[in-house]
Amino acid sequence: MTKLYKKSEVTFAILWIVAYVVLSSLADQLSETIGVTKSVTAVLHIAMSLILYLWIRRNNLSEKYGFRRSAVPAKRFLYYLPLVVVASTAFWDGIEPQEGFPGAALFFISMCCVGFLEEVIFRGLLFRAMEKDNLKTAVIVSSLTFGLGHIVNLFNGSGRDPASSVIQIVFAVLVGFVLVMIFYHGRSMIPCILFHSANNALKVFSAESSLTPQMDMVLNLVVIVVVLGGYSLYLVKTFSRKTK
């Protein structure tokens, strides 16, 4: 694994992406066959997280991939409060576990690992590999990572209408941009992992929305435009001014 990494960091990152996506899909199918949500997937994600983390530590890459305190004071990032607001949307309709035990526990564990894996793979391995050649391209690719994963909802009949899928894609792209800005300027992956894990895992405790689909769409637009859009503009303005 280390030889491949030294030969091509981009190839190494892409192989991790492919392995993560393919194995996670297979694990989800096996979990459904067994009849316990995320039963196989949680084990897979724990194993992949440990392998990746231990490999990074063994090769003295912790600093490079952000396993350190942020180089920027939290107040420069507004104490990450916009991300707290986004993660809190899981509870805006109340708390009501969607799965019984052990399904809820396995889902929670799996989603926490997903936060770690996706941030380290996409915001870490892939972004760092591309950053050396072209920073803007690296930022764009990392920002699109969240969004591209949701494009399939437009075509696979997953139950989402086109308008909702488009909103979800835009939401995900903005989240990706915010996270890569935080990682690049703060040099710490920890805030990104914590937010990503919480935003995913807390949904297992989210009550079913009492709003109409139209009102739910309006609420999502408000979060996107006001919270994420505003935070993105703040980060761009703050750190572009800082580097002049």
> What pLDDT was estimated at residue 161?
64
Whether the pLDDT of residue 21 is over 90: the answer is no
Gap between the Cα atoms of 106 and 42, Å rounded = 6
Q: Give me the mean pLDDT over the 175-190 stretch.
A: 96
Looking at residues 103-131, what average pLDDT do you find?
94
CB 161 within 8 A of CB 195: no
What percentage of the chain reaches a pLDDT higher than 70?
Answer: 91
Q: How far apart are CA 51 and CA 47, in angstroms?
A: 6
9, 124 contact by CB (below 8 A): no
Which of the given ranges, 32-36, 160-164, 189-193, 215-219, has the highest pLDDT on average? 189-193
pLDDT band at 158 (very low <50, low <70, confident <90, very high): very low
| Predicted local confidence at residue 169, as pLDDT | 81
**pLDDT for residue 156:** 44
Pair 178, 235: CB distance under 8 Å:
yes
Average pLDDT estimate for 8-24: 93
pLDDT of 150: 58
pLDDT value of residue 37? 86
Predicted local distance difference test score (pLDDT) of residue 196: 95
Residue 39's Cβ-count burial label (10 Å; 0-12, 13-18, 19+) is: buried
What is residue 62's predicted lDDT score, i.e. its pLDDT? 97
Q: Would the pLDDT of 7 be above 70? A: yes
CA distance 20 to 26: 10
| pLDDT value at 18 more than 60 | yes
Residue with tokens 């303005």: 237
